[in-house]
């Protein structure tokens, strides 16, 4: 069947048997993460889920077990705003899953007021990128052991608003703009997936990034009606053409989770590691009048630079070559 804007996660997994596979979904306590975990388990996978603390994680596992009778679930607390938590959670996962077939980096925050993580990073870059960077890189042994394996990074069309602010990533000197800070983090998600794929593709681990679509979930809890209007205007001014025409139409949560699970299993993506996806398709380059991926997010030199900068910021080296 042909997949597109209206495809649901269940439809994207129709006929797929994930028995014997282990998947991990971050931020699975609600919205897209919960639906992603649910449908992967319904397709036969053992699913490890994360939430921000032990109580939320246990509650998430209980709800998933009630929703998918017979489903195999486990939970690990992961606070992405703390590198110590990311490291501890990764160690826990390595013990639970010596082989990890699918990692879906779904958790994140969006358009938050200015703040700092536990390690002093701007909140959106720290949570959406650096936390996942450390968590993912530390899970590489399990991914390699399961190869062929896949890493899926949930980004956003918001990446169109901004490149990485290389001279002031942490917003130490630049007046804070929550939309551009979010856009920077989402660009980082795409660049990270591209560089991770470059480093691991030869050993059977591929990485992808994606725009799930516009979905009304808890992710938008910091946004007022005025914020949404302002963001729409920002896209008109900063992006090419009118890329938000389709994404302005909200998807349901099952539709929003579709591209994540498709990225995790679609055989047609085998030779397209590092690709940015939306609507269960590989996104084209953004051109006037059409949505797609911006050139700044496809730049291989920027992807390598982000890896090096991220290592410097977290104080840890992940050569992975």
Catalytic positions, written as ranges: 182
Residue 296 tokens, joined: 């700044």
Residue 286 tokens, joined: 């953004």
Q: How many CA atoms lie within 13 A of 121 on its CB side?
A: 23
Q: Quick check: bond before 313 cis, omega within 30? A: no
Report the candidate in 84, 190, 200 with the shortest Cα–Cα distance to residue 142.
200
Residue 108 tokens, joined: 């994140």
Beta-carbon count within 10 A of 189 CB: 24
Q: What is the DSSP string of 159-191?
A: GGG----TT-TT-SSSPP-HHHHHHHHHHHHHH
In this structure, are residues 274 and 208 in contact, taking their beta carbons and an 8 Å threshold?
A: yes
Task: Give the max Cα distance, the chain.
Answer: 53
Helix H or strand E segment including 48: strand 46-51
d(CA 24, CA 97): 9
Cα separation values, 96 from 76, 146, 217, Å: 10, 13, 30
């Amino acid at each position: 069947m042909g997949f597109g804007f209206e495809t649901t996660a269940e439809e994207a997994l129709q006929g797929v048997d994930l028995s014997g596979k282990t998947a991990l979904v971050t931020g699975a306590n609600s919205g897209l993460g919960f639906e992603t975990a649910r449908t992967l388990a319904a397709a036969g996978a053992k699913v490890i889920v994360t939430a921000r603390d032990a109580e939320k994680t246990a509650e998430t596992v209980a709800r998933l077990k009630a929703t998918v009778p017979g489903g195999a679930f486990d939970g690990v607390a992961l606070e992405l705003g703390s590198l110590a938590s990311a490291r501890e959670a990764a160690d826990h996962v390595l013990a639970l899953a010596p082989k990890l077939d699918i990692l879906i980096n779904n958790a994140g925050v969006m358009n938050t007021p200015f703040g700092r993580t536990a390690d002093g990073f701007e909140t959106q870059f720290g949570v959406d990128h650096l936390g996942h960077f450390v968590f993912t890189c530390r899970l590489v042994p399990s991914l390699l052991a399961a190869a062929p394996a896949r890493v899926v990074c949930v980004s956003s069309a918001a990446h169109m608003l901004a490149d990485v602010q290389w001279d002031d990533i942490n917003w130490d000197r630049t007046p804070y703009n929550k939309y551009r800070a979010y856009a920077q983090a989402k660009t980082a998600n795409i660049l990270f997936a591209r560089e991770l794929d470059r480093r691991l593709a030869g050993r059977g681990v591929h990485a992808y990034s994606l725009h799930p679509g516009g979905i009304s979930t808890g992710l938008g809890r910091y946004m007022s009606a005025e914020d949404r209007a302002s963001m729409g205007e920002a896209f008109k001014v900063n992006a090419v053409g009118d890329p938000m025409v389709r994404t302005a139409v909200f998807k349901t949560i099952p539709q929003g989770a579709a591209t994540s699970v498709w990225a995790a299993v679609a055989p047609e993506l085998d030779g397209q590691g590092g690709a940015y996806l939306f609507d269960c398709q590989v996104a084209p380059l953004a051109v006037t009048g059409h949505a797609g991926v911006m050139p700044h997010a496809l730049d291989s030199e920027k992807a390598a630079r982000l890896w090096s900068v991220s290592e410097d910021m977290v104080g840890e080296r992940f050569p992975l070559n």
